Structure 1
């Protein structure tokens, strides 16, 4: 009995069948959108391409393979971003490993043990030939994106925000070798430059994913009845400077978020924090430009500011934007505590501070 025959014979309420049927239905729905030239989100792209690249595509599906360019970059970058030089062991996620393992299990035992699904290893060690191919692919992407970074991208706010961050980091890189001009021709410099550029593309895709997944209402936070907007600048700036320390070529003086804060769900984390503020503090005399709290022993600092934008038919519109949020270093923590801000202990994990205007 082959795998498909086995699955077809399962009852409609079998967990494995439900999962596979739902997965196939979502894939077909996304494929239909693409065939009808309907735009899809990056999240949908990842779902579609995960399925497409692990099957023998039909003629219609072959026409859609170009939609997987960003997906291919995303997965390849996440495999290699810690070290773009090669020479170490890399592991890749095998999205087809689950089905292959189940097929082997079925062929051996005649059945499938659903309880074993979570124990199936999904990673494999990448062989040197594949590593070289993947790194050359990333180098080519970096060379292409270098042109984009220095282009005028003002019609795409997410792209412009990520490119500006990259330009700032590239300036720092160039400044670091100003007294050693020959270093610019060395492989180490080129590797750092490519790392900055590739990270810019990754952050662009991540920010795009967030803004496609969540609505403006989702990304508009409230504290004391005042709105704070999380926009493309907020996401790109915070992710660029305060996530994934291993990928940073510069900003060595920055601090980085741990697993408590996920880059795609920052606004959800902040919503909980702001709700706590609204319940425990009288806002009179408190600044919204700078907000401080301590969570699980870590001091966090948030900066916001009033921004303005011209809206067609409306004129000048002012709003408060989330500029940054970062965990304070020990040195910064000492400096802030020396200011004598009033601390309100909410529970064993949470304290909030009154920062005056």
Structure 2
């Protein structure tokens, strides 16, 4: 029997250059962070500006700013011509304040995730999250000791909710039930979108105690303070009673045992035949490119959570007494899917 051998992959010069660009990802993320943090995107919202005018408006050095913006033009964040008048692109506008913004996400990831990821090699060797290796604490414990980052965390979650999740949920109707509980719901943006006006349905947003005040403010801004209440607590201990439970990018934060505890608490508190609506980035079963794979690497480096396939979520639901009813994938550009399950009893 002849043993077959596989030829060694031979990179081309183009492959080498491509890898060099990928390795420069640390420069890209810091350049994007600087663009948002310095208010450059906001300054360009009204229209193109000469670099000298933009530098004066943002308190930056004209030469350094020019070099930063030239680099960002490669990423399609800005555009410019021979006169070095810089214009904001739609992609660049995501780092300005307003609809579709991820400026808070850029701030949060850079302030909390960037340096810990330098220990990713240790994570792959040991399975211990890079964040814990770098800081000596779990992510949750570190946040408790650094509450100054809570505002950017809530802002980042709101960014994602407004720009990506709401897009997924356009036209989606919650299953029937008078009381809807958004567990781990941050400021309640997603629940507010799903409840909408002109309905008698009532809502509960449950998150950590420090999130109650900003959630209350947000619900008041949306005119929902009379229908939706924000409560603080530990969902690993107990959750409020409800007819429909919403878990929007919550389960991916935790390992299987922690997810089992949370889902069991929901099953215990839920009304008979209650519905469960889960919004997560669901891993494909193939090697196809998918944003969930990026998200999963983030989870690997920061905490004990993970992204999961539809089958893996189905097993979690079944173990807690829920039956997966359907999975609704988002459009190709949207990483999230909706999974609906129903309590068996």
Q: Same fold (TM over 0.5)?
A: no
With the length of structure 2 as denominator, give the TM-score of the two structures.
Answer: 0.29
With the length of structure 1 as denominator, give the TM-score of the two structures.
Answer: 0.28
The structure in which a higher percent of residues are helix is: 1
